[in-house]
């Protein structure tokens, strides 16, 4: 299993709830997929009680996820330069929530 520290990422919203993270992603990104808890992204297990949003930035290279690190809490992260993982997510999740921006 991978570690988040193996990737080039930055924290967009630290120490947040899943609900706040979902609102953050929905308000800023156009292409959003909801994955089931436990779904692996870059071999990182995505934790949550319900479906978890995953956004793809318009450059088709970066992912935005809510990542929960046990004992540390949840944060919204941008993971840079992962186009192969984006292709995998798009192929598995044909339907996306494409809400546009306000």
Q: Are 56 and 41 in contact (CB under 8 A)?
A: no
pLDDT tens for 31-51 read 999 999 999 999 999 988 888
Residues with Cβ within 8 Å of 45's Cβ and at least 6 positions away in sequence, in order, are 1, 38, 39
pLDDT at 102: 42
pLDDT for residue 101: 46
What's the pTM value of the predicted model, to 2 decimals? 0.88
Residue 63 pLDDT: 97
- Tens digits of residue pLDDT in 83-100: 999 999 998 876 555 554
For the chain, the average pLDDT equals: 90
């Amino acid at each position: 299993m991978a570690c988040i520290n193996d990737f080039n990422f930055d924290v967009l919203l630290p120490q947040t709830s899943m609900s706040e993270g979902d609102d953050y992603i929905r308000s800023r990104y156009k292409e959003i997929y909801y994955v089931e808890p436990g779904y692996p992204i870059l071999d990182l297990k995505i934790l949550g009680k319900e479906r978890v949003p995953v956004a793809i930035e318009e450059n088709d290279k970066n992912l935005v996820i809510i990542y929960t690190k046990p004992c540390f809490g949840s944060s919204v992260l941008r993971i840079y330069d992962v186009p192969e993982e984006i292709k995998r997510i798009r192929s598995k999740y044909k339907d996306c929530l494409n809400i546009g921006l306000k």
